[in-house]
Each structure stands twice: as C-alpha cells, then as structure tokens.
Amino acid sequence: MSKKIVESYKNKLAQEEGWLIKQGAQIRIALCYPNTHAIGMANLGLHTMYELFNKIPEVSCERVFLPDADEMREYEKSRASLLSLETQTPIRDFDIVAFSISFETDYLNMARMLRLSGIPVWSKDRNHFHPLIIMGGAASFLNPEPIADFTDVIAVGEGEVLAFQLIDSILQGGDKEEILLRLARIGRGFYVPSLYDVIYNDDGTAFDYLPRADGVPKRVGRALAAVNPKEGTLRRAIKRGENELAEFLKNQDIFCPSTAVWSPQAEMGDRLLVEISRGCSQGCRFCWAGYNYYPPRVVPAKDILAKAAEWRGKTNKIGLVSTAVCDHPEISTILSELRKMDYRITVSSLRLDQISDELLDALVESKDQQIAVAPETGSDRLRRVINKNLTNDEIVDICGSVFDRGMLTVKLYMMVGLPTETEEDLDEMFVLVERIKDRMLEAGKKFGRAGKIITSLNGFVPKPNTPLQWDAICDEKELKQKIKYVCKGLSRIPNVEVRFMSARIAHEQALFSSGDRSIAKVIESAARLKGNLNDALRETGIDPKFHTSRNREYGEFLPWSIVDSGLSFEFLKTEHEKAREALSSKPCPAVEKCTTCGVCPTTWLADASPGLIQIQPAKVREAIAAAF
Ligand code: SF4
C-alpha cells in the first residue's frame, strides 16, 4: 500500500466532518463516485446514498473516488489497488461496490476505477469471491444497456426506496445467484442484466429481451419515493384552504436529501445543499430530468428548514437543489425563513417563467449567485417544438428584472441542432441576445456600470425516455458548422462572451446515452486506451452512427425499453408528433387521479390495474382518496 496515497486520503478526512466508520457491520459497501473527490462531494446523490446506507444498522458505507492526478500517479507507480477514503481498504475486499452515476460522461471513469481496483471489469469474469457490483444514479437507469455487461445489478429508480430493499434482500441470505434472482423478482427497481437474453434482428436492432428465469419481469419498473407529496396536490390543498389535507401532506415522515459530510475543500463544499423538490412539471421535450422524475414531488418546508437550522452554526450558505425551485408550493415560507436565519441563498437552476421577485431579491442578497437562465433557442417556433412555453418578449422582460436589481451579468444556455431547426432559427438567437444585451446596458446606466451576457452553446443530444428519443443527433460535421456559425454571430455582439461544447462531445454523449449493450466494449476499450474514443471505436469495430444518427421508427425496440419508466408509449409518441408540428402541451399537473402520461397509474392510484405495484403507503392513499 502506498504511504503517499494513505497520507493524501487522511489529509482529506482531516478537513472533513460528518464521515463515519462503523466497526463490525455485517455488510460493507464501497460507495464509488466516478470522478474526483472535489467534484464528487458536490453531488447530492452521493451524500444521499452515503447517509441512507449508513442509516441501516447492518451496513457500513465508505466513499471511493477517482484518484486526483497526484494520487493516480502514485497508484500507477506503486501498483496499489483502489482504496476507500475512510479506512483505506482495497475496494475489492468490500461486500458491495456501488457506483452512483449521474452523467454518462463518467462511464469511462467508472471502468477505470474497476480496473484500478483489480476487480474484473466484466460481470461474466467475476465469481462468488468478488463483491457485488451495483450501478445506480440517473444515468444508469435512463438507459442501463451501455453498462449492463459490467454490472451485477442496476438500481432502477430512487435510492430512498432501493437502498433498504437491496439490503433486506441480501440479509435474507443465499449465494450471489440467489440474491440476484431475489432482487430481479421484486419486479420493480432492480435490473439484473445477466438474467436476460437479448435477441437481435438481422439489421442489428434489438428484437426482444427474454427473461432467463421464472418470475423475472419482461420490463423492470422504476421505483420512486412516493411518500413525498406531489407538488400539485399540495399546492391545491394550500390554495383551497384544505388545511387538514395540507397539514397531513406536509407531515409525512420524509427523508430530506442534504449534505451529509461537510467538506469545505470540495466544489460548493462551503454550503449546505438541500434538495427541495424532484422533477419538473413543464415537460420540455428534450429534458430527461423532467420526464424521468415524474411526477414532481416536494420536500415539505418544515424538513428543509429543520436541516437549515441544524447546519446554521457551520455555514451561512445554502444551495437549494431542484429542477424547478419556484414551483415549490411553500417557496415563500422557505425563502423568508432562510433569510431570517441570515442564510445566503443560491439555487441549482432557475426556470424563467416562474421566477419570482421574492427569489430574485434573495439571490441578489446572497451576492454569490450568478443567474443562469435557459431560453434554449432564439426562436419562439422552435421553443414550441421543444415545449418550452416562453416567448422572446417574456425572456427579455425576465432578464430585465434581474438587471434592474443590479445583477448585470447573466448566463444564457442555448442549444444548437434541435429537430426542425433552420438557419432562420439560428439567426433569431442573435436578435434575442442583442435585445438582452441592450436591456442590460439600459439597466446598467442606473448603476454606472455594464455587465456581461455569457452564452453557453450545447449541441442537442436526444435522450432516452423523452419524446425526442426517436430523433437522430445532428450530423457531427453539420453540428460543428452550426456551432461555428452561431459562435461567430454572437461574438460580434459587444458585451457578449461565448462558450460552447464541441460537436464531438455531443456525439460522445449521444453514443453513451442511446447505445445498446455493445457500447460496453467501447467504454472498456476507451478506459484502457487512456480515454481515446476514436481508438476504442477502431479497436471494437463499432459504428457510432448506428446508435446516434438514425431517426428510429416507432416500432423499433429501443435498448432502454427494458426499463419501464411509467411513461406510456402513446404519450411519448403523441408528444413527438406534436413536436414535429410545433404544438405545445400542458404541464404535468402533479395531482391525484391524473393518468395523462401513464406514470401515476402505475405508482400512485389505488385503482391501478392488477399486477402493478402500489408503492404509495396505504395510509397516504386513504387520506388522499378521502379528500377528493
Ligand atoms: S400521470 Fe399526470 S400527474 Fe402523473 S406524472 Fe403523468 S402527467 Fe403528471
């Protein structure tokens, strides 16, 4: 074991608070984040799983990160195998190695960490003496296929439910095969790739997935935290003065995901991060986070404020994590109470249409929030294609209210290569950014200074389980030209800074998010070849265009169909057809007894068809049914 690596880990621990070592636990879990400590500790999913696993008396969970550059040099020099942070134990000695993967771009790091640990990368090469390898997190259940061959179990859904089910199943005993079969037979939440034969058509597309054992489901349902109130149900109860129901919903025993380990050296490590809601109601057709966390649910204000009070002695900075901060039915209470506690508030993302004066005031007060907004495009028509229901006039007005508060710099997220995009659509970006810049200069006169418009351009990447999942990504050469054209046009506008993601990176993302099982070979090869994807594609002979650059037929069996996210085929197809005609759709109401997209009938409603698992606790169902 390298002394330098141990020293480096001990130094990190010395700067942290809140980590723990549980001696004598029955099950030891190495919780791996496929990026460095500095980046991983800013990920709320990692904190959440660390806290959830360690809550279980029989479990001891330690963290593992991709070594930083100095540590990696030491690992290579000493040929040491990858160690956990807390006790510097080789991760191959743990019972479970669980990866938390939020982004498909981290797949290569995951494979590098497995290689470094000395654990065989391919599940078929592992035996009973190796730890159980589990992958969880948003990327892995959106489309588990590119990492299926590395993995014993893929967690399909949310950790609040799955952590306990996983440990319960393991504690029931048996060998690896028995545990895997038991997990697969739950029917929801655990996908065991080795228990399926994938049948392919002659053209290389998937034909079907055949379960290899009785009781293993054809499709694996997504498990979700159903004790959290639906956003619309709580909002309606508050608005209608249904106090009893509102109080009932707010007083469930709810887990509030938040920072578990105080790690001031890490990115955003100087603030308490709290998830205030999950999912977004708007249904932007490109957004995987919206659809795959349907229905939008909230953490009640009392739980958020209790966390804030607990941490106030340590920090005066709080980051509210949510895809739609202002949609929280209790956002006013949350903001005013946090301001009373003298917190400096930042938010993870802002949705333009809902931004309130109250939130803007809180952000101005905090001084360290850069406002980032996402018009996505400069064309009102194209915004209807993606179901982002805002006009350019509204966007300029909203930016204006930011500038009028003296915040004269905004970041604008834009996409290039959207379906049906024309050159005129791209030109409209210049007009929109010019208008926003003029509005900034006008407001700047009052403050005697000028600000900056930072535009961030990304190539559109079609994501699984969204209405645009059937679309091809814009051809790489064409995407490159479009990005160049927009960059050139925007950089001519004064006070505008342009940042962009390369067409290459967009295509890499598309391959890892929409590929099938064969992509694991590319990931393994690229991890071995120091991240060189071109060499990996050459070595494996895989044609990336087959996976990324075809418009898929509605009848094609999509690789990610093995996961049943709850979204019905008819809903996604209708939304896709409406996108083609630039027709917008209403947001998800997030209320009881809605069946629009198919998610709630399979998770919430008492009258769901037989065979569908009801994970809403009976007492909650009864209370809600009584109120409607
Ligand atoms: S069924 Fe209705 S409330 Fe439930 S997620 Fe779908 S659109 Fe939202």
pLDDT tens digit string along 503-544? Answer: 999 999 999 999 999 999 999 999 999 899 999 999 999 999
How far is ligand 1, taken at its centre, from the CA of residue 282, in Å?
11
Q: Which of 282, 323, 595 is the best mutation target for the ligand 1 pocket, counting ligand atoms within 8 Å of the beta carbon and taking the most?
A: 595
Task: Please tell me the distance from the alpha carbon of residue 294 to that of residue 296, in angstroms, as a whole number.
Answer: 5
Question: What is the mean pLDDT of the segment spanning 481-504?
Answer: 96
**Three-state SS string across 159-222, please?**
HHHHHHHHHHHHHCCCCHHHHHHHHHHCCECEECHHHEEEEECCCCCEEEEEECCCCCCCCEEC
Q: What pLDDT is stored for residue 628 in this prediction?
A: 52
Q: Could you tell me if 281 and 327 are in contact, meaning their C-beta atoms sit under 8 angstroms apart?
A: yes
Q: What pLDDT is stored for residue 612 in this prediction?
A: 39
Task: Please tell me the distance from the alpha carbon of residue 61 to that of residue 28, in angstroms, as a whole number.
Answer: 6
Question: What is the mean pLDDT of the segment spanning 331-350?
Answer: 88
**623 pLDDT higher than 90:** no
Q: Which atom of ligand 1 is nearest to the CA of 590?
A: 3
Question: What is the mean pLDDT of the segment spanning 352-369?
Answer: 73
Q: Whose CA is nearest to atom 5 of ligand 1?
A: 295
Q: What pLDDT is stored for residue 624 in this prediction?
A: 54
Q: Which of 280, 593, 595, 599 is the best mutation target for the ligand 1 pocket, counting ligand atoms within 8 Å of the beta carbon and taking the most?
A: 599
Q: Could you tell me if 22 and 57 are in contact, meaning their C-beta atoms sit under 8 angstroms apart?
A: no
Q: Which of 236, 327, 567, 597 is the best mutation target for the ligand 1 pocket, counting ligand atoms within 8 Å of the beta carbon and taking the most?
A: 597
- The share of the chain scoring above pLDDT 90, in percent, equals 79
How far is ligand 1, taken at its centre, from the CA of residue 268, in Å?
33
What's the token pair of residue 138? 């948003």
Q: How many CB atoms lie within 10 A of CB 501?
A: 16
Pairing verdict, β 153-155 and 190-191: antiparallel
Task: Please tell me the distance from the alpha carbon of residue 492 to that of residue 236, in angstroms, as a whole number.
Answer: 48
**626 pLDDT higher than 80:** no
Q: Which atom of ligand 1 is nearest to the CA of 604?
A: 4
Q: Which atom of ligand 1 is nearest to the CA of 601?
A: 1
Q: Which atom of ligand 1 is nearest to the CA of 230?
A: 3
| Nearest Cα to Cα of residue 433 among 371, 377, 390, 351 | 377
Give the sign of the dihedral formed by CA 101, CA 103, CA 106, CA 111: positive
Cite the beta strand spans of 313-385 per DSSP E. 317-321, 344-347, 371-376
Q: Which atom of ligand 1 is nearest to the CA of 294?
A: 5
Quote the longest CA-to-CA distance of the chain: 73
How far is ligand 1, taken at its centre, from the CA of residue 329, in Å?
17
How far is ligand 1, taken at its centre, from the CA of residue 582, in Å?
22
How far is ligand 1, taken at its centre, from the CA of residue 158, in Å?
17
Q: What pLDDT is stored for residue 252 in this prediction?
A: 82
Q: Which of 323, 574, 593, 600 is the best mutation target for the ligand 1 pocket, counting ligand atoms within 8 Å of the beta carbon and taking the most?
A: 600
Q: Could you tell me if 34 and 113 are in contact, meaning their C-beta atoms sit under 8 angstroms apart?
A: yes
Cα end-to-end span (Å), the chain? 63
Give the sign of the dihedral formed by CA 71, CA 73, CA 78, CA 81: positive
Q: Could you tell me if 460 and 474 are in contact, meaning their C-beta atoms sit under 8 angstroms apart?
A: yes
How far is ligand 1, taken at its centre, from the CA of residue 524, in Å?
38
Q: How confident is the model at residue 1 (pLDDT cuts 50, 70, 90)?
A: low
Q: How many CB atoms lie within 10 A of CB 282?
A: 22
Q: Whose CA is nearest to atom 8 of ligand 1?
A: 588
How far is ligand 1, taken at its centre, from the CA of residue 212, in Å?
33
Q: Could you tell me if 403 and 444 are in contact, meaning their C-beta atoms sit under 8 angstroms apart?
A: yes
Q: Whose CA is nearest to atom 7 of ligand 1?
A: 588
Beta bridge partners of 69: none
Question: What is the mean pLDDT of the segment spanning 605-615?
Answer: 41
Pairing verdict, β 27-33 and 563-564: unpaired
Residue type for 299, please? Answer: V
Residue type for 477, please? Answer: K
How far is ligand 1, taken at its centre, from the CA of residue 299, in Å?
18
Q: Which atom of ligand 1 is nearest to the CA of 597?
A: 6
What's the token pair of residue 260? 């578990």
Beta bridge partners of 191: 154
Q: Whose CA is nearest to atom 4 of ligand 1?
A: 600
Burial 229-257 (b: 16+ CB within 10 A, else e): bbbbbbbbbbeeeeeebbebbbebebbbb
How far is ligand 1, taken at its centre, from the CA of residue 210, in Å?
30
Q: Which atom of ligand 1 is nearest to the CA of 295?
A: 5
Phi and psi at residue 34, to the nearest 5° = -80, 50
Question: What is the mean pLDDT of the segment spanning 426-444?
Answer: 97
Using DSSP's 3-state secondary structure scheme, residue 107 falls into helix
**458 pLDDT higher than 90:** yes
Q: Could you tell me if 66 and 123 are in contact, meaning their C-beta atoms sit under 8 angstroms apart?
A: no
How far is ligand 1, taken at its centre, from the CA of residue 437, in Å?
38
Q: What is the pLDDT of residues 215-256, one digit of tens each?
A: 999 999 998 888 889 999 999 999 999 999 999 999 888 899
Q: Which atom of ligand 1 is nearest to the CA of 594?
A: 2
Q: Could you tell me if 133 and 150 are in contact, meaning their C-beta atoms sit under 8 angstroms apart?
A: yes
Which protein residues touch ligand 1 with a CB less than 6 Å away?
294-295, 588-591, 594-597, 599-600
How far is ligand 1, taken at its centre, from the CA of residue 597, in Å?
5
Q: How confident is the model at residue 610 (pLDDT cuts 50, 70, 90)?
A: very low
Q: What pLDDT is stored for residue 619 in this prediction?
A: 53
Which of 198-212, 241-255, 418-432, 612-626 has the least mean pLDDT?
Answer: 612-626
Q: What pLDDT is stored for residue 607 in this prediction?
A: 42
Task: Please tell me the distance from the alpha carbon of residue 152 to that of residue 82, in angstroms, as a whole number.
Answer: 20
DSSP 3-state percent helix, strand, coil across the chain (nearest 5) = 45, 15, 40
**114 pLDDT higher than 70:** yes
- Determine the angle formed by the axes of helices 392-403 and 423-447, rounding to 10 degrees: 20
Q: Which of 235, 236, 575, 594 is the best mutation target for the ligand 1 pocket, counting ligand atoms within 8 Å of the beta carbon and taking the most?
A: 594
Q: Which atom of ligand 1 is nearest to the CA of 589?
A: 3
Q: What pLDDT is stored for residue 171 in this prediction?
A: 96
Q: What pLDDT is stored for residue 357 in this prediction?
A: 80
Q: How deeply is 342 buried, as exposed, middle or buried, from its count of CB atoms within 10 A (0-12, 13-18, 19+)?
A: exposed
| Nearest Cα to Cα of residue 451 among 412, 492, 409 | 409
| Nearest Cα to Cα of residue 48 among 225, 299, 258, 264 | 258
Q: Whose CA is nearest to atom 3 of ligand 1?
A: 590
Q: Give, for 383, the enclosing helix (H) or strand (E).
A: helix 380-385
**615 pLDDT higher than 50:** no
Q: What pLDDT is stored for residue 269 in this prediction?
A: 85
Q: Which atom of ligand 1 is nearest to the CA of 283?
A: 7
Q: Could you tell me if 176 and 132 are in contact, meaning their C-beta atoms sit under 8 angstroms apart?
A: yes
How far is ligand 1, taken at its centre, from the CA of residue 601, in Å?
8
Q: Which of 231, 235, 596 is the best mutation target for the ligand 1 pocket, counting ligand atoms within 8 Å of the beta carbon and taking the most?
A: 596
How far is ligand 1, taken at its centre, from the CA of residue 249, in Å?
18
Q: What pLDDT is stored for residue 616 in this prediction?
A: 45
**162 pLDDT higher than 90:** yes
How far is ligand 1, taken at its centre, from the CA of residue 160, in Å?
21
How far is ligand 1, taken at its centre, from the CA of residue 164, in Å?
26
Q: How confident is the model at residue 606 (pLDDT cuts 50, 70, 90)?
A: very low
Cβ neighbours of residue 214 closer than 8 Å, sequence gap 6 or more: none
Q: Give, for 274, the enclosing helix (H) or strand (E).
A: strand 272-275
**205 pLDDT higher than 80:** yes
Q: Whose CA is nearest to atom 6 of ligand 1?
A: 597
Pairing verdict, β 297-298 and 277-278: antiparallel
Number of H helices, E strands in the chain: 24, 19
- Determine the angle formed by the axes of helices 231-239 and 243-250, rounding to 10 degrees: 140
How far is ligand 1, taken at its centre, from the CA of residue 231, in Å?
11
Which of 288-302, 409-423, 469-483, 599-613 has the least mean pLDDT?
Answer: 599-613
Q: What is the mean pLDDT of the chain?
A: 91
Q: Which of 234, 282, 588 is the best mutation target for the ligand 1 pocket, counting ligand atoms within 8 Å of the beta carbon and taking the most?
A: 588
How far is ligand 1, taken at its centre, from the CA of residue 590, in Å?
6
How far is ligand 1, taken at its centre, from the CA of residue 592, in Å?
8
Which of 75-84, 462-471, 592-601 has the least mean pLDDT?
Answer: 592-601
Burial 407-446 (b: 16+ CB within 10 A, else e): bbbbbbebbbbbbebeeebbebbbebbbbbbebbeebbee
